[in-house]
């Protein structure tokens, strides 16, 4: 089902979910990385793009099927317009320069978030990159731009309730339709990584992270290396995911019960 609020529509019609883990990353620390080197903030974002390239290359090799990265939150509009413009410029350059490489590597691009406030030139680059990479099967790379999880949930709820009222969707429960709408927006996150030392979700994939394992590092995003992703995945694989259940060892079957 498509949301009825076009501003929040996904940029593409969602096709099948990829196999492999869904890892989401809050790429924090670009500004501090730059400040520590007496560089302008934009230099941190540029180094952040280089880190994205490294991780996109590495992710499919280590069992990641879907990678969602937080490039620009809806709250980031509060930043000085020069910084906002420079982030958009870097995103455009990334999409233009990396498009062929992404396609060759079997990466399929998706963009999530609002589309109505994104500059036209960036929007065009996004649409071209989505079209060029549509056949990718190795990794689904989802870039969140002008994204707010609360807004996405609100938009899904409004869209579904309107359809429910106007199209009289008999037999379907509002709850199921909403769950279906939110699931179509993006799958569950398995592992959420946040760099830069802060430990919060910052309005990122709140619904999808309901049972995500969380992994935080003090490392600034531009310093994030494939080895860090390996470390996060290593820890993730050690953790027992119970989804609200009980440990396997204490189920009746495991202790000799029925």
Binding test (CB under 6 A) with ligand FPP, winner from 4, 32, 151, 157: 32
CB nearer ligand FPP, residue 30 or residue 155: 30
- To ligand FPP, the closest distance from the beta carbon of 214 in angstroms equals 18
CB nearer ligand FPP, residue 50 or residue 254: 50
The token pair that represents 251 in the structure block: 């189920």
Q: How far apart are the first and last CA of the chain?
A: 42
Let me know if 127 is a catalytic residue: no
- To ligand FPP, the closest distance from the beta carbon of 87 in angstroms equals 5
Sequence-distant (≥ 6) Cβ neighbours of residue 18 within 8 angstroms: 65, 66, 108, 137, 139, 140
Let me know if 76 is a catalytic residue: yes
Site for ligand FPP in 190-249 (CB under 6 A): 196
CB nearer ligand FPP, residue 76 or residue 128: 76
CA distance 165 to 238: 46
DSSP state of 222: G
- To ligand FPP, the closest distance from the beta carbon of 109 in angstroms equals 10
- Measured CA distances, 148 to 75, 151, 152, 155 (Å): 8, 5, 6, 10
94 binds ligand FPP, rule: CB under 6 A: yes
71 binds ligand FPP, rule: CB under 6 A: yes
Taking the CB of residue 171, how many other CB atoms lie within 10 A of it? 5
Which ranges in the chain belong to alpha helices (H)? 30-35, 41-58, 81-104, 120-132, 149-166, 174-185, 226-238
User: Active-site positions?
Assistant: 28, 76
Interface ranges with ligand FPP (CB under 6 A) = 27-32, 45, 48-49, 52, 69, 71, 76, 87, 90-91, 94, 143, 196
């Amino acid at each position: 089902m498509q949301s009825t609020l076009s501003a929040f529509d996904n940029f593409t019609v969602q096709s099948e979910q990829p196999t492999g883990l869904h890892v989401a990353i809050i790429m924090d620390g670009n500004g501090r990385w730059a400040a520590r080197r007496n560089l302008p903030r934009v230099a941190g974002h540029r180094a952040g793009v280089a880190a994205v390239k490294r991780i996109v290359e590495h992710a499919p090799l280590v069992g990641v099927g879907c990678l969602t990265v937080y490039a620009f939150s809806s709250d980031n509009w509060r930043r000085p317009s020069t910084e906002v413009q420079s982030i958009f410029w870097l995103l455009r350059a990334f999409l233009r320069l990396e498009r062929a490489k992404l396609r060759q590597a079997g990466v399929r691009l998706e963009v999530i978030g609002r589309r109505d406030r994104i500059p036209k030139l960036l929007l065009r680059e996004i649409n071209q990159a989505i079209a060029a990479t549509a056949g990718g099967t190795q990794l689904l790379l989802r870039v969140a731009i002008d994204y707010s999880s609360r807004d996405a949930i609100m938009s899904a709820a409004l869209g579904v309730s309107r359809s429910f009222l106007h199209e009289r969707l008999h037999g379907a429960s509002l709850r199921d339709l909403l769950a279906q709408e939110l699931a179509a927006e993006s799958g569950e996150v398995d592992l959420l990584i946040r760099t830069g030392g802060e430990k919060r979700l910052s309005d990122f994939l709140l619904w999808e992270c309901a049972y995500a394992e969380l992994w935080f590092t003090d490392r600034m995003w531009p310093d994030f290396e494939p080895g860090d992703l390996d470390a996060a995945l290593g820890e993730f694989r050690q953790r027992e995911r119970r989804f609200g259940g009980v440990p396997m060892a204490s189920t009746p079957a495991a202790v000799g019960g029925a």
